[in-house]
Structure 1
Amino acid sequence: MRSKPTFAALFPLSLSLSLSLSLALSLPPAAGIAQEPAAEPEISFASTELAPGLYMLEGVGGFAGGNLGVSTGEDGVVLIDDGLPPLTDELLAALAELGAEPVEFLINTHVHGDHIGGNEVLGRAGATIVAHDNLRQRLVDEGVSTGGGKVPAPAAALPVVTFADSVTFHLNGRSAYVFHVERAHTDGDAVIHFRDDNVIHAGDVLFSGLFPFIDLDSGGSVDGYLAAQKRILALADGETKIIPGHGELATREDLAAAIAMLEDARGRVRALVDAGRTKAEILAANPLADYDDAWSWAFITGERMTETLIRDLTGE
């Protein structure tokens, strides 16, 4: 089993480069993450073929952003997400090895810069960028984060096709049903279901084997996150391959385990909130302690997951 991903070098790397698209949120580091100068990483992308002409791409050698999906064939290349901005050249090299160039359609699963960091480069190269209405609006209204703060999103990085509920691509002999899930990881999440291939790209609606990051500041919610996961669960069977936003390629069983963990975790925290405990008292009680070994990782520890659940339940 691969080691859990680390974000220890993510923020120094993406912020120091100050490229056109960095992380779409300025987030404080999680407790316990060493803020050491980031060495130049030797990061590349590895591909896993899930069906003929349909691949999952994931970073190896360091943090490369979220997991990507690629559909190739006679109708062109459809790419799902595009990773961190410093690694666009490495991504293009990996696509070239698959014969997946040029990218004609780029689907963004949500607004975070570790998933849309290559938008500007690919947009300038002619890719048609597709995303939910709210994702585009956030980029227009809020811009993107760089080492110097927020800057306007470059026009080439903006989605040019947006949708409110769903859109279906009919390319390369397969259909890709792209649908919105409300107030889940963010308020602009998209899930992609390759129905003919029994493959689902969940974006950050699934952190496989990891505590999830639910971005309350960008419209996410625990209720919406669980509802989105259950919607995906209803589409899956025992043979479904689920590409998570982060973590290893998942199964329906993995998704069911993630749902059970989050529901139980929220129940534990809710019981303490209902008992009148303060945030400090709840954190001191460490209600998710027995989940830590299996689910904690560098960015979302049990403590940070507890903080998210408290805030979601109380609004504070």
Structure 2
Amino acid sequence: MRNIPSFLLLLSLLTAQAQSNEVDITIDTLAQNTYMLTGSGGNIGIYVGKEKVFMIDDQFAPLSNKIKATITTLTDKPISYLVNTHMHGDHTGGNPNFNTSQTVLVAQQNVRKRLKINGAEKVSANEMDEQDYEKLLPEITFSDDLTFYDGEETVMLFHVHNAHTDGDSMIYFVNENVLHMGDTYFSGRYPYIDLNSGGSINGYINAHKKALLVIDSETKIIPGHGRPSNKSELENYVKILEDIKQIIQDEISAGKSLAEVKNNNGLTSKYDDQYGTGFISPERIREIVYVSLTSPIKD
């Protein structure tokens, strides 16, 4: 019986490796020096600077070698900074594989707090060793904003509160005019708002409005999931989320229960065909919004 956890860990690693063998890492060129990599998990941002590479998110650990190989087709410069937009494993799973003497991990302070808790639990369950646990954690954290300078480029990191989680960051490359929004934006699909990790519908919408204050009609947006986007699409997305929020709030004010709202397909039917075919179903988005509007934000 003592070997069961080890066996389950081995099985999960073999399954993950098999899945990674089927994943191709593709490249979208968004600006002269900025790229989006798509594989399995959150979209990766790559900025090739004057002497170094600035990377955003790293997907799952079994994909790290493929991701590194793809980056070498863009540049041979070292990855100096790797930013985690938030704490979920499809954006941070590769941290231990990228965290080297050349690469420094950066994130909003709540990301480190949550990764520290989750990582310690995995160590206790023999799902992660101590070395990988230490390399999982961001080495530089910030509260509200942080700015990097690379030659003529300015890279702005700013925290948006209680959106997808309580530790979300957006990263804006000013001269390249590219904004990475992490999972505060699911392009072309309903969003996942992690209510158990400090997320909220109000914070999610406010994050979009903050992004709209920064960008212009020419900005290229890297969403956490989905295809590259732009200001016009983001503006429309905000209107949709605000409409859904009001629809659900009206149901709450009318005394409808969570079950009634979840099962009422008509509430979001005008958006479901376009936005409800991804990870979050129409029923799930109605549940998320309902719970967010009727429950306190979880720390």
Tell me, yes or no, whether TM beats 0.5.
yes
2:162 aligned partner: 183
Gaps of 5+ in 1: 1-13, 23-37
Q: How many angstroms apart in 2 are the aligned matches of 1:92 and 1:193?
A: 23
Q: CA RMSD in A?
A: 2.6
One-letter amino acid of the counterpart of residue 303, structure 1: E
Is the partner of 2:199 in helix, strand or coil?
A: coil
Identify the residue that residue 224 of structure 2 maps to in structure 1: 245
Q: How does 1:294-305 map to 2 (within 5 A)?
A: 294-305=274-285
> Aligned pair in 2 of structure 1 residues 273, 149: CA closer, same or farther (>3 Å)?
farther
Matched, 1:274 2:253: yes
Alignment of 1:199 onto 2:178: yes
In structure 1, the residue matched to 2:102 is: 126
Q: Is the 8 A contact 2:189 2:278 kept in 1?
A: no
Of structures 1 and 2, the one with the larger relative CO (CA 8 A, separation 6+) is 1
Deviation (angstroms), 1:101 = 4.3
Deviation at 1:51, TM superposition (A): 1.9
Q: Tell me which residue corresponds to 1:58.
A: 38
Kept in 2: contact 1:69–1:81 (CA 8 A): yes
Instruction: Give the whole-Å Cα distance in 2 for the aligned partners of 1:48 and 1:15.
Output: 34
Provide the TM-score with structure 1 as the length reference.
0.83
TM-score for both structures, normalised by structure 2 = 0.88
CA contact (8 A) 1:204 1:245 kept: yes
Distance 1:214 1:298 in 2: 14
What SS does structure 1 have at the residue aligned with 2:25?
strand
Mapped to 2, the partners of 1:208 and 1:83 lie a distance apart of 17
Q: Match of 2:7?
A: none
Per the alignment, residue 46 of structure 2 pairs with 70
Give the structure with the higher percent helix.
2
- Name the CA distance, whole Å, in 2 between partners of 1:18 and 1:220: 32
Deviation at 1:126, TM superposition (A): 3.4
Q: Structure 1, residues 110-145: CA drift from partner, whole Å, max 9, x if none?
A: 001101111001113631000000000111123278
Give the AA of the match of 1:261. I
Gap runs ≥5 in structure 2? 1-9
Aligned residues: 284
Deviations along 1:197-229, whole A, 9 cap, x unmatched?
211111111101110001111111111111110
Distance in 2, Cα, partners of 1:277 & 1:156:
47
- Structure 1 partner of 2:213: 234
The alpha-carbon distance between structure 1 residues 296 and 100, as it changes in their structure 2 partners (threshold 3 A), is: farther
Distance apart, 1:47 and its partner CA? 1.5
Q: Structure 1, residues 80-107: CA drift from partner, whole Å, max 9, x if none?
A: 1111111111100101111154311101
* In 2: Cα distance, 1:252 partner to 1:45 partner: 26
Identity of matched residues, %: 40
Q: Tell me, yes or no, if the aligned pair for 2:55 and 2:83 is still in contact at 8 Å.
A: yes
1:16 aligned to which of 12, 15, 18: 12
Change (3 A) 1:172 1:144: farther
